[in-house]
Structure 1
Amino acid sequence: MNIDVIDSVKEVSCERISGKNVVVIDVLRATSTIVTALANKACCVIPVEHIEAAWEFYNNRKKEIVILGGERDAKIIKGFHFGNSPLSYKEESIKGKEVVLTTTNGTRAIKSCVKAEKLYIASFINATAVVEQLIEDKEDVAIVCSGTYEKYSMDDALCAGMIISLIDKQGEITTIDMGWTVKELYEAYEHDLHEVLKNCSHYKRLEVNGYTEDLRYCLQRDIYDIVPIYKDGYIRGLKENDHDR
């Protein structure tokens, strides 16, 4: 398995993702929110890049089955039901509903990768489940770190490092470039992710805005075994997608 690590959304290109299975990561917080929403029995998550697109989808559907979620600059969008805190997406609020999500970085990264062979969604909270699927697929992989405002983000890099570390333990890696660096970074700090992230700008921004509980939640590992996959505009759990065929 060849693995390419793309360190921010601005580095995504057709050449780098064509014919590959792609994993999009936005630990803080979009992909953590997507995994959580599906784990709490949302019907699906619909990622959109722009606020206007979210409203358009909402206005063309039955209001009682759609949840609007999203943020700009880490703050909830005016008029939306929820922001981008995964802790907001509780089963009693979202079960059986379609979650339309737009975020500053994560949903943009997802939409930039829709031409991938398969497009998976990962965070620390479901990393091992995604790794198991990648190993089962036996295809080359591009890991896309969403980044923060088109720049490298340490939290996403550490999650990419975890994914690579787990794959490497199975002896499945053929070639990899910068991935070895993030793998070694993760293995050096895997017992205290908060320590390495506490001085990073995005971590600090969430902390200052009162999202300390989100930080604790998003840096947990493997609390879900769900594998979200994007197909035709919708993100669902892989097993659900298989059942639909």
Structure 2
Amino acid sequence: MNIDIIISADDIKEDKIKNKSVLVIDMLRATSVIITAINNGCKEVIPVLNIDEALDIVSSNRSKYILGGERNTVKIKGFDFSNSPFEYKTNVVKNKILVMTTTNGTKAIKNSITAKNILIGAMINAKAVASKLVGLNNDIVIVNAGTNGQFSIDDFICAGYIIENIMSITDSIITSDIATTAKYIYDNNKNIISFIKYAKHYKVIKNLKLDKDLEYCCQKDIVSIVPEYENGSIINKK
């Protein structure tokens, strides 16, 4: 089983992901939100690339949908919620469909559609993701959403933690140089917040006083589900 990493949504190439199991990570904050919403009873999440597409989907029956997302970390005008996991509580999302568009995360998901499987991961479900990937018994590509097409420290260390968890389950693993580096970074920086404070996106979130979001998204293994993208939407396949 081979493990590789793609460093941003803009760097995804079909020949790198075709017939492989892809894990999309945007821990600050899109994939953390998706995992949280589904864990709290959301029926499905429909990721889209642009605002007009999101508005068009919900116009058919507004009562069954929630509009969520951001542009450059800020809530989109006219949307119900931004990209904070704390907004997607059970009483809000239960039995609803979340239509979501974000700057980086939803782009990474949509750009990965030629993969064999697309799983949604973050720090908060890392162990569950690792177990699921090992069970699929397929070559793995971890897609870091990145930040505006650039490498992101937060997604990279999250990938390293997930690789460590995979390697704790099986030793039948061959890591690429970049995957080996991600694991090394995590092994030497296990306090996540103390390391990702150097990330550009971390500083943006701090400036917006979203400290609780940072603390939540940096927690390890507080959720046991692994959402999957399939046929245009993300669900919890049991």
Q: TM-score, normalised by structure 2?
A: 0.98
SS of the equivalent of 2:27 reads coil
Q: 1:75 & 1:175 partners in 2: Cα distance?
A: 36
Within 5 Å, give how 1:123-138 maps onto structure 2.
Answer: 123-138=122-137
**1:154 maps to which residue?**
153
Instruction: Quote how far apart the aligned CAs of 1:177 are.
Output: 2.3
Post-superposition CA distance 1:55-95 (Å, at most 9, x none): 010112x2111000010011000010000001100000110
- Tell me the secondary structure at the aligned position of residue 166 of structure 1: helix
Q: Are 1:218 and 2:217 an aligned pair?
A: yes
User: What percentage of aligned pairs have identical amino acids?
Assistant: 43
The answer on whether the counterparts of 1:25 and 1:145 sit within 8 Å (CA) in structure 2 is yes
- Mapped to 2, the partners of 1:161 and 1:208 lie a distance apart of 26
Hey, what's the Cα distance between the residues in 1 that align with 2:230 and 2:19? 15
Cα distance in structure 2, aligned partners of 1:200 and 1:25: 15
Unaligned runs of 5+ in 2: none
Instruction: Please name the residue that 1:40 is paired with.
Output: 40
Instruction: Work out the CA distance in 2 between the residues paired with 1:195 and 1:163.
Output: 18
C-alpha distance in 1 between matches for 2:176 and 2:102: 30
State the alpha-carbon separation in 1 of the partners of residues 172 and 101 from structure 2. Answer: 34
User: 1:123 & 1:215 partners in 2: Cα distance?
Assistant: 12
Root-mean-square deviation over aligned CA pairs = 0.8
Structure 2 CA distance for partners of 1:175 and 1:219, relative to 1, 3 Å? closer
Q: Is the 8 A contact 1:71 1:84 kept in 2?
A: yes
Which runs of 4 or more aligned residues in structure 1 lie more than 6 Å from their structure 2 counterparts after TM superposition?
Answer: none
Task: Please list every run of 5 or more consecutive structure 1 residues that lacks an aligned counterpart in the other structure.
Answer: 240-245
2:188 match: secondary structure = helix
Q: Distance in 1 between matches of 2:22 and 2:192?
A: 24
How do 1:12-161 and structure 2 match up within 5 A?
12-60=12-60, 62-161=61-160
Q: Which amino acid aligns with 1:139?
A: N
Contact 1:135 1:172 in 2 (8 A): no
Query: Residue type matched to 1:130 in 2?
Result: V
> Which residue of 2 is the match for residue 2 of structure 1?
2
SS in 2 for 1:238: coil
Quote the residue 2:235 is aligned against: 236
The size of the alignment, in residue pairs, is 237
State how 1:166-245 maps to structure 2 within 5 Å: 166-169=165-168, 170-190=170-190, 192-239=191-238
Contact 1:130–1:227, Cα closer than 8 Å, also in 2: yes
Is the 1:27–1:159 Cα contact (8 Å) retained in structure 2? yes
TM-score (norm 1): 0.95
